[in-house]
Amino acid sequence: MSELRHDPIQKRWVIIAPERGIRPSSYYQVQPGSAGEDEFCPFCEGNEDKTPPEILAYRESGMPENGRGWRVRVVPNKYPALRIEGSLDRKGVGYYDAMGGIGAHEVIIETPFHDEDMADMSVNNLARIFKAFKERMTDLSQDSRFRYVLGFKNYGKSAGSTLDHPHSQIIALPITPRNVAMELKSAKEHYQLKERCLFCDIFQYEIEAGERIIRVTEDFIGYTPYASRFPFEIWIAPRTHSHDFTLIQDKQMNSLAELLKEVLMRLRKALNNPPYNLIIHNSPNIKGSKKRSHYWETLEYDWHWHIELTPKIIPTAGFEWGTGFYINPVSPEEAAKYLREIEVY
């Protein structure tokens, strides 16, 4: 029988409908295509002059900037969604509100190797990628025009990726996104009522219950949310309370890299390398919200950064768009069990 489940963070309902008869194995995917030998890739090593000048790079000592020898490289997006030059110019347009398209849009080129997906990378290189996220998110947060800095990865064409070479993106925004704003509101309300972090309460319950857990390490939890919107939706979060991803330490970065690698290996084997979106939900930028800083006065205590990983294996159709409801044909308990039982080593 179908079940309506409530997500206390986003305050939305999800329909879990396992009786629709779709098993986890039904989501076995055709692998995302990769560029052939005759296709040009601007992100491959040796093509550094085909991208905008790098903002950040981790490379072998003695190697010149914007040249070979790098391991992870960050460049401005050549076709940015928002541009860093200019002012916000907030204004009213009749009944409506508008502002300039100000922000920042950067690309993290994760590896010099075209076909080395995250699941194949060493833990050290995955940690470098998280280090690049940390450095660039920290730097962009110094700009008072930006109220939120989002880190994300689109893997596979159906997940929004336009280049096969492994890469992630960072976008700095002059507003707080609606999804994050709802999570912040839920977290604040929970803290005001109970003087506890909503996320910490949920993570502790999930660890005790165990049925939706994929893996728990000393530092992180990986699990399928109780009200998962999509089959095999996964959250990864620090077990110790932390409101800001940019405060992550080197040891934690390695631990996070180990867990993410294992989760991606399990997903790849379970679903044959599915497309996915990976999003870092971090705290808003207090430096960019001075006029409303009082609104986040408990942010350090009530917010908890986390990663949301969503495989793109079913379409979002009219019912979902029309109602805001999601119908998930695989229960999170079944998805977690299926992933736990996959042998990856």
Instruction: Please give the positions annotated as active site.
Output: 167
- Non-local (6+) Cβ contacts of 144 within 8 A are 287, 288, 290
Q: Please, are residues 179 and 282 in contact by the beta-carbon 8 Å criterion?
A: no
DSSP state of 28: P
- Which of 283, 272, 300, 340 lies closest to 117, judged by CA? 272
Amino acid identity of 262? Answer: E
CB proximity list for 95: less than 8 A, separation 6 or greater: none
E strands present in 191-271? 213-216, 220-223, 234-238
- Residue 97 is encoded by which pair of tokens? 């509100």
User: Per the structure block, which two tokens stand in for 278?
Assistant: 């990976």
Vertex 139: Cα angle to 133 and 144 (nearest 5)? 125
141 in Cβ contact with 287 (< 8 Å)? yes
Sheet of 3-7, strand order: 3-7, 12-16, 326-328
Closest CA relative to residue 306, chosen from 251, 257, 254, 239: 239
Closest alpha carbon to 266 in 303, 307, 232, 228: 232
